[in-house]
């Protein structure tokens, strides 16, 4: 069953000291840092981030109990809240003195609910009466108020990726007011109301921050509302309602995720998937909002996969406790669900140890392959994941190597999906190239080079990882192999991608191996295998086993129109000297051809009249070009002149006409 856990915790969690009477622990979502503050900072503050770069340790004076502590972006300035009215700042700018200053909130009688850094030196205070947007001036040891807005606030939520703060207002708390921040500016976004399942009477705060999460999914900002089951409505199960908050324009209620159960939930967003943890069943389910459900109304989603628990994580005891021989102990993951973090990671406090852990949640793709039977849906799902390439290729390989029932229609669907993504990438690349070549003059906004994600599976990937080994399988019928190759070529053609020569070669190899020359002939007749010089040469090499290949090859060379030399070579090798000469004359290239090559070929036929004709042709050409029938030394035709004299006599040589 372990191969069914499609969620796992990252290898290296952030480990920190557990909260206690002397140790306060804080988590900053923006920088993903855990702060362990011992004795108000006097005995040390240990900051740990997901990588070592973000880890700092320092001391500060104990000026009272710390309520909230956060670094600005880049660890430049530390903000510490100790009282409900003010926040203290300590500069951490390298090569700068640790200057300190303090700022009280402007509004009278307001108390600070919290603060968020929106930049390395810009901070927002959220109070119960509104928000205040400041710029910190560390060298002046002061703050400058940039903007403020007064509104009654129940609670707030911050999305660091987009620098958007969401405020809960009104008595019920269900009217959400977002603000967006960007380098010194603050903009108010349209507020919106969350429809509550039950309206309490009298009105009291009914929507809590536990039921709301903010996250970016597929580059868009969403507010996720966990709508619990209510007895009054007929929907017995909980659901997650997604509101999309576009940069401009008003919000939209876009998606509904059906949880099909009730209880306590926690939400995460990982790799653009919404992960919902269900506490009582210890399982998690995932939703992909781009995956359309055929049997559901538009934008109502069922879980992509059946619920599974997170892969058990074993904490190596050796690194922690004293008993080195003891095997790793499975961590108690139940606690995990109690810690609710809207950001892309999961916090946990681990009970058996005096230690806390912070993990990133990760999606493991290989187990999804067996859980999602519908291959088309599986491909849609995989193509949107970050580390999907090898999984997709293994799905393709597995699909072709039997075991699967879908057969060719499924193969076709999968190929079409892969090539659609491949095509979109090629098009973007093309537009970019055109744009950069046309110079920066046109379109001031410099285009960004399209990113090649792992979902771009090109022909060489398919060839190397799937098709070449598949075509060598002995236990698969060649009919199926050829059908699959043709299906791939069809799919590429459908989206107008130029098929690479090695794929044609594979097809030809299969056909030749099984003596299916007539099939090959028909493919070529309808130009299914596109013309190219290598293909023409390959056909020439087949001539001995399949004589018509000669004609096919010559036709192809003719169509290429850049292969006249090759055509001449082919004809000469078949001793069709006159034919070669007539051909080169018809395309107008006979002025500068090598006379020696033709004379050599004519000599080999042992046909003296043919030799005479060819010799005379070149004499006439020489006459036309240079006014003299004789060959120049550079043409190396001396031996042929000697032979000509020998056979036909000196007097047969063309005389130079002197005027």
Partner 1 sequence: MLMISPRMASGMQEKQYTPSLLSFFVYNPSFGSREGEEEKKILFYHPSEVEKNEKIRNVGLCEAIVQFTRTFCPTKPAKSLHTQKNRQFFFEAEDSFWIVMVVRNPMVEKPNKDGRPPTIEYQEEEILDTVYGAVLRECYSMYKLFNGTFGRAMEAGGVELLMQKLDKFFYRYLQTLHLQSCDLLDVFGGIAFFPLDKMTYLKIQSFVNRVEESLSLIKYTAFLYNDQLIWSGLEQDDMRILYKYLTTSLFPRHSEPELAGRDSPLRPEVAGNLLHYGRFLTGPANLKDPEAKFRFPRIFVNTEDSYEELHLIVYKAMSAAVCFMISASVELTREFCEQLDGLVGPQLTLLASDICEQYNVNRRISGPDKEPQFKFIYFNHMNLAEKSTIHMRKTASVSLTSVHPDLMKILGDINCDFARVDEDEEIIVKAMTDYWVVGKKSDQRELYVILNQKNANLIEVNEEVKRLCATQFNNIFFLD
Return residues touching partner 1 (CB under 8 A).
Answer: 407-409, 412, 479-480, 483, 486-487, 489-490, 493-494, 518-519, 521-522, 525-528, 548, 550-552, 554-555, 557-559, 567, 579, 582-583, 586
Rounded to the nearest whole angstrom, what is the least distance from the CB of residue 550 to partner 1 in the complex? 8
- Per-residue tokens: 36: 């362990």
Q: Which of residues 406 and 450 has its CB atom nearest to partner 1 in the complex?
A: 406
Q: Which of residues 116 and 602 has its CB atom nearest to partner 1 in the complex?
A: 602
251: how many CB neighbours lie within 10 A of its CB?
A: 19
Measured CA to CA, the distance from residue 255 to residue 240 in angstroms comes to 8
Instruction: Indicate the SS3 state at residue 652.
Output: helix
Helix (H) or strand (E) holding 149: strand 142-150
Looking at residue 462, what DSSP letter applies?
A: H
Q: Which of residues 509 and 636 has its CB atom nearest to partner 1 in the complex?
A: 509
Going through 151-303 in order, the beta strands assigned E by DSSP cover 155-159, 164-169, 175-182, 185-188, 192-193, 212-217, 220-227, 239-245, 252-258, 265-270, 273-278, 283-287, 300-301
Q: Which of residues 372 and 482 has its CB atom nearest to partner 1 in the complex?
A: 482
Rounded to the nearest whole angstrom, what is the least distance from the CB of residue 600 to partner 1 in the complex? 21
Q: Which of residues 270 and 602 has its CB atom nearest to partner 1 in the complex?
A: 602
Under a CB-based contact definition with an 8 Å cutoff, are residues 173 and 154 in contact? yes
CB-based contacts of 325, cutoff 8 Å, min separation 6 = none
Q: Residue 513 to residues 448, 503, 509, 526: CA-CA distances in angstroms? A: 47, 15, 6, 21
Q: Which of residues 55 and 575 has its CB atom nearest to partner 1 in the complex?
A: 575
Q: For the chain, how are helix, strand and coil distributed in percent, rounded to 5? A: 35, 25, 40
Rounded to the nearest whole angstrom, what is the least distance from the CB of residue 412 to partner 1 in the complex? 7
Q: Which of residues 99 and 495 has its CB atom nearest to partner 1 in the complex?
A: 495
Q: Specify the length of the chain in residues.
A: 659
* β-bridge pairing 283-287 and 112-117: unpaired
Rounded to the nearest whole angstrom, what is the least distance from the CB of residue 53 to partner 1 in the complex? 53
Q: Which of residues 123 and 485 has its CB atom nearest to partner 1 in the complex?
A: 485
- Per-residue tokens: 556: 């192809």
- Per-residue tokens: 190: 């349209």
Q: Which of residues 317 and 512 has its CB atom nearest to partner 1 in the complex?
A: 512
Rounded to the nearest whole angstrom, what is the least distance from the CB of residue 407 to partner 1 in the complex? 5
Number of helical (H) and strand (E) elements in the chain, helices listed first: 16, 31
Rounded to the nearest whole angstrom, what is the least distance from the CB of residue 478 to partner 1 in the complex? 12
Q: Which of residues 586 and 628 has its CB atom nearest to partner 1 in the complex?
A: 586
Rounded to the nearest whole angstrom, what is the least distance from the CB of residue 474 to partner 1 in the complex? 19
Rounded to the nearest whole angstrom, what is the least distance from the CB of residue 609 to partner 1 in the complex? 13
Rounded to the nearest whole angstrom, what is the least distance from the CB of residue 557 to partner 1 in the complex? 7
Q: Residue 102 to residues 85, 114, 142, 183, 370: CA-CA distances in angstroms? A: 10, 15, 8, 22, 57
Rounded to the nearest whole angstrom, what is the least distance from the CB of residue 519 to partner 1 in the complex? 8
Give me the long-range contacts of 584-588 (CB less than 8 A, separation at least 24).
Answer: none
Rg (CA), the chain: 38
Rounded to the nearest whole angstrom, what is the least distance from the CB of residue 391 to partner 1 in the complex? 26
Q: Cα–Cα–Cα angle for 565, 570, 575, nearest 5°?
A: 120
Rounded to the nearest whole angstrom, what is the least distance from the CB of residue 464 to partner 1 in the complex? 23
Under a CB-based contact definition with an 8 Å cutoff, are residues 110 and 128 in contact? yes
Q: Which of residues 91 and 459 has its CB atom nearest to partner 1 in the complex?
A: 459
**560 closest CA partner among 583, 538, 531, 537:** 531
Measured CA to CA, the distance from residue 184 to residue 489 in angstroms comes to 54
Q: Which of residues 466 and 557 has its CB atom nearest to partner 1 in the complex?
A: 557
- Per-residue tokens: 175: 């009217």
Q: Which of residues 133 and 583 has its CB atom nearest to partner 1 in the complex?
A: 583
Rounded to the nearest whole angstrom, what is the least distance from the CB of residue 7 to partner 1 in the complex? 37
Measured CA to CA, the distance from residue 216 to residue 180 in angstroms comes to 14
- Per-residue tokens: 81: 């809240």
């Amino acid at each position: 069953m372990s191969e069914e856990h499609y969620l796992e915790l990252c290898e290296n969690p952030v480990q920190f000291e557990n909260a206690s009477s002397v140790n306060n622990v804080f988590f900053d979502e923006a920088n993903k840092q855990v702060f362990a503050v011992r004795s108000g900072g006097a005995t040390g503050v240990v900051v740990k981030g997901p990588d070592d770069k973000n880890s700092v340790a320092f001391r500060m004076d104990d000026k009272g109990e710390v309520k909230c502590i956060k670094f600005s972006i880049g660890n430049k300035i530390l903000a510490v809240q100790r009282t409900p009215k003010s926040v203290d700042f300590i500069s951490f700018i390298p090569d700068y003195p640790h200057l300190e200053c303090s700022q009280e909130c402007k509004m009278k009688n307001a108390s600070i609910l919290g603060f968020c850094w929106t930049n390395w030196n810009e901070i927002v205070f959220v109070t119960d009466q509104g928000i205040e947007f400041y710029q910190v001036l560390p060298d002046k040891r002061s703050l400058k108020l940039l903007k403020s807005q007064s509104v009654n606030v129940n609670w707030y939520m911050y999305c660091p990726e987009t620098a958007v703060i969401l405020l809960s207002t009104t008595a019920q708390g269900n009217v959400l007011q977002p603000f967006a921040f960007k380098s010194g500016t603050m903009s108010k976004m349209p507020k919106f109301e969350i429809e509550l399942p039950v309206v309490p009477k009298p009105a009291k705060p009914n929507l809590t921050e536990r039921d709301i999460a903010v996250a970016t999914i597929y580059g868009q900002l969403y507010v996720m509302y966990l709508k619990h089951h209510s007895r009054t409505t007929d929907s017995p199960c909980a659901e997650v309602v997604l509101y999309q908050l576009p940069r401009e324009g008003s919000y939209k209620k876009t998606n509904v995720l059906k949880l099909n159960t009730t209880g306590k939930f926690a939400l995460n967003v990982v790799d653009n998937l919404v992960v919902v943890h269900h506490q009582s069943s210890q399982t998690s389910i995932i939703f992909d909002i781009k995956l359309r459900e055929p049997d559901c109304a538009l934008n109502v989603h069922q879980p992509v996969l059946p619920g599974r628990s997170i892969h058990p994580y074993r904490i190596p005891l050796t690194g922690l406790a004293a008993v080195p021989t003891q095997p790793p102990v499975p961590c108690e993951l139940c606690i995990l669900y109690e810690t609710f973090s809207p950001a892309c990671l999961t916090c946990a406090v681990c009970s058996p140890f005096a230690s806390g852990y912070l993990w990133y949640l990760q999606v493991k793709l290989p187990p999804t392959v067996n859980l999602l039977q519908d291959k088309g849906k599986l491909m849609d799902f995989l193509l949107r994941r970050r580390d999907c390439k090898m999984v997709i290729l293994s799905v393709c390989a597995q699909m072709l190597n039997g075991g699967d029932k879908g057969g060719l229609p499924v193969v076709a669907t999968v190929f079409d999906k892969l090539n659609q993504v491949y095509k979109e990438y090629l098009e973007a690349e093309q537009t970019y190239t055109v744009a950069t070549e046309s110079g920066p003059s046109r379109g001031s906004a410099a285009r960004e080079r399209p990113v090649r994600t792992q979902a771009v599976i090109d022909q060489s990937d398919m060839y190397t990882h799937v098709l070449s080994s598949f075509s060598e399988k002995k236990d698969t019928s060649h009919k199926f192999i050829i059908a699959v190759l043709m299906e791939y070529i069809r799919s590429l053609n459908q989206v107008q991608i130029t098929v690479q020569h090695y794929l044609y070669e594979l097809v030809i190899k299969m056909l030749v191996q099984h003596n299916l020359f007539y099939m090959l002939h028909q493919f070529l007749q309808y130009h299914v295998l596109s013309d190219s010089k290598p293909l023409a040469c390959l056909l020439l090499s087949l001539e001995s086993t399949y004589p018509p290949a000669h004609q096919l090859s010559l036709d192809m060379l003719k169509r290429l129109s850049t292969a006249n030399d090759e055509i001449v070579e082919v004809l000469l090798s078949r001793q069709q000297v006159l034919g070669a000469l007539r051909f080169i004359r018809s395309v107008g290239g006979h002025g500068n051809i090598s006379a020696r090559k033709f004379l050599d070929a004519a000599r080999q036929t042992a046909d003296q009249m043919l030799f005479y004709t060819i010799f005379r042709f070149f004499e006439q050409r020489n006459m036309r070009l240079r006014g003299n029938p004789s060959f120049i030394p550079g043409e190396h035709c001396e031996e042929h002149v000697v032979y000509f004299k020998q056979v036909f006599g000196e007097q047969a040589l063309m005389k130079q006409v002197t005027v």
